[in-house]
């Protein structure tokens, strides 16, 4: 017996588990017949052998049958649950109960906090029955388990995150760049002053008060008759957007109201050069000029007599300006542009109607009369005294000198400060009367007044961003 040698620990396969055979196949060894020295040697190797068995058993875990290792509260040894065959000495039921109690005790313990918080990310993986079984050596499996973070070892701590479907990318809109070329157009308006079939607010009678065989017309107090198809049928409005207009900066809308005997094409564009003056000013400004009574000595305002008529006209102007601009986003900018009314000669009556009940008081920032104060003195006086932030400027020649003197006296009686010279920028809340040099021609007042091209000079004095 003593001459028999322990040739090694042979491992042979039993199903999927490796069961150690401590006895050589050629020699039958009985523990009871071993000498005392062999017994002491075997006793000393017992614990290392048990630990090795535990490691090897952990590597033999299958998908349907596993070995759970847990530390019991009463002992530092390991309790193992093994199949009934082999080295397990306990019954299966007893092993199950012991294993369940050890697992419950382990889960009751407070889990240590991870060094760095980690976000549990759900990944797309096949179901357990479709996953390939990866075989690892027992030592390698134990080392991997020891090196795994706490979140990975305790599945109950993982927070599943639902993966969202990838949507379409967000596209940033290009900015509103300055216009690269000037755009000018005559556009028909529904809210234009004419045609007009309502009443004359001055008399309360229909505006078209003459009928000659079905041809309708308007008879003036002086006895003249202007026919609808010749004088009150043009619904076009002149729109002008100068090159370089930048809607990202403060901008201004100029509402120009022409005088008697004028048309947009012949007089406002060619003779008075109003679009040209707006472009020459080099400021962020657009021009809107409706056709009033066409080529007639008539100051009628048509639809702009109506309450809210100016507001409706400006709404339509914003829409048409956006079309002319070419970018639909510009509509919002035109909608909130401040408005400066510039009236020449007989355009004063339409200007007075706009500030009296036009419905756009919050947008009108100033009124400019170019030798135009032929009446409505009380209307302008009330507007000036009630609008502290809006400015008023009246430049005049000999034909309207008396009316301007009358308005200035009314404002002095209301303690309104007046300026008689135009110096520096034109500020909000200012009231200015400018007497031009003797011999200034009324017909040329839009192109030559206190300065050459007075509308250009006016816009440059306003606090508007330059282009």
For 286-319, the DSSP string reads EEEEE--SBTSS----GGGGSTTHHHHHHHHHHH
Q: Which two tokens stand for residue 179?
A: 């216009």
Residues 224, 139: Cα–Cα separation, whole Å: 116
Residue 330: which residues within 8 A CB-CB, separation 6 or more?
176, 247, 321, 322
Q: Give the per-residue pLDDT at 193.
A: 98
Residue 110 DSSP one-character state: P
CB burial of residue 380 (10 Å; 0-12, 13-18, 19+): buried
pLDDT along the chain (467 residues), means of 10: 42 42 44 55 69 70 42 41 43 60 66 46 45 51 51 51 60 80 97 97 94 95 93 98 94 97 98 97 96 97 97 98 95 96 98 96 96 97 92 96 97 94 91 94 96 96 72
What is the chain's percent helix, strand, coil content, to nearest 5? 35, 20, 50
Is the pTM higher than 0.95? The answer reads no
In the sheet where 285-290 sits, what is the strand order?
183-188, 236-241, 285-290, 252-257, 339-344, 364-370, 391-396, 431-435
Residues 21, 8: Cα–Cα separation, whole Å: 9
At 227, is the secondary structure helix, strand, or coil?
strand
Residue 213: which residues within 8 A CB-CB, separation 6 or more?
none
Structural domains of the chain in order of their starting residue, each with its CATH number: 1-102 (no CATH), 183-188+238-461 (3.40.50.1820), 197-231 (no CATH)
The total of other beta-carbon atoms located within 10 Å of residue 278's CB is 24
Of all helices (H) and strands (E), which one includes residue 241?
strand 236-241
The total of other beta-carbon atoms located within 10 Å of residue 146's CB is 8
Q: Give the per-residue pLDDT at 102.
A: 64
At 419, is the secondary structure helix, strand, or coil?
strand
Q: Which residues make beta-bridge pairs with 219?
A: 225
Q: Which of 274, 247, 249, 257 is nearest to 184 (CA)?
A: 274
The H helix count followed by the E strand count for the chain is: 13, 15
Q: Give the per-residue pLDDT at 409.
A: 96
Contact 364, 353 (CB under 8 A): no
Torsion angle (degrees, nearest 10) of CA 362, 433, 352, 267: -110
How does strand 391-396 pair with strand 431-435?
A: parallel
Q: Give the per-residue pLDDT at 54.
A: 73
Q: Which of 136, 134, 133 is nearest to 55 (CA)?
A: 136
* Alpha carbon separation from 357 to 201, 275, 318, 364 (Å, rounded): 12, 28, 20, 12
Q: Give the per-residue pLDDT at 177.
A: 86
Q: Give the per-residue pLDDT at 135.
A: 52
């Amino acid at each position: 017996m003593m001459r028999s040698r322990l040739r090694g620990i042979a491992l042979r396969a039993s199903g999927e588990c490796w069961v150690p055979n401590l006895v050589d196949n050629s020699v039958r060894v009985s523990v009871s017949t071993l000498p005392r020295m062999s017994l002491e040697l075997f006793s000393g190797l017992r614990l290392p052998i048990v630990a090795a068995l535990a490691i090897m058993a952990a590597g033999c875990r299958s998908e349907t049958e596993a070995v759970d290792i847990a530390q019991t509260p009463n002992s530092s040894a390991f309790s193992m649950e093994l199949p009934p065959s082999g080295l397990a000495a306990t019954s299966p039921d007893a092993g199950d109960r012991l294993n369940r109690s050890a697992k419950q005790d382990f889960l009751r313990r407070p889990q240590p906090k991870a060094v760095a918080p980690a976000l549990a990310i759900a990944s797309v993986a096949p179901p357990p029955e479709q996953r390939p079984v990866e075989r690892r050596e027992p030592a390698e499996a134990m080392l991997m388990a020891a090196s795994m973070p706490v979140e990975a070892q305790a599945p109950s701590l993982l927070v599943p995150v639902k993966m969202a479907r990838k949507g379409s990318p967000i596209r940033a809109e290009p900015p509103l760049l300055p216009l690269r070329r000037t755009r000018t157009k005559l556009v028909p308006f529904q809210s234009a002053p004419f045609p007009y079939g309502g009443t004359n607010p001055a008399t309360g009678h229909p505006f078209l008060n003459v009928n000659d065989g079905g041809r309708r017309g308007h008879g003036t107090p002086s006895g003249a008759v202007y026919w609808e198809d010749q004088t009150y049928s043009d619904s076009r409005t002149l729109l002008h957007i100068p090159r370089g207009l930048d809607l990202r900066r403060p901008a201004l809308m100029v509402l120009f109201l022409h005088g008697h005997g004028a048309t947009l094409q012949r007089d406002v564009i060619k003779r008075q050069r109003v679009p040209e003056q707006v472009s020459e000013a080099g400021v962020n400004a657009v021009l809107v000029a409706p056709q009033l009574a066409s080529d007639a000595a008539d100051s009628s305002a048509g639809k702009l007599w109506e309450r809210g008529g100016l507001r409706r006209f400006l709404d339509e102007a914003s829409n048409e300006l956006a079309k002319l601009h070419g970018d639909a986003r510009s509509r919002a900018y035109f909608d909130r542009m401040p408005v400066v009314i510039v009236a020449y000669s007989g355009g004063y009556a339409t200007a007075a109607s706009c500030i009296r009940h036009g419905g756009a008081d919050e947008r009108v920032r100033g009124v400019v009369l170019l030798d135009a104060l032929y009446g409505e003195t009380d209307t302008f006086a009330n507007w000036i005294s009630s609008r502290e932030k809006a400015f008023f400027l009246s430049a005049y020649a000999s034909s309207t000198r008396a009316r301007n003197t009358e308005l200035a006296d009314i404002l002095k009686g209301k303690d309104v400060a007046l300026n008689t010279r135009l110096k520096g920028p034109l500020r909000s809340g200012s009231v200015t009367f400018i007497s031009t040099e003797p011999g200034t021609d009324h017909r040329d007042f839009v192109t030559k007044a206190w300065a050459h091209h007075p509308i250009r000079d006016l816009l440059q004095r306003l606090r508007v961003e330059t282009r």
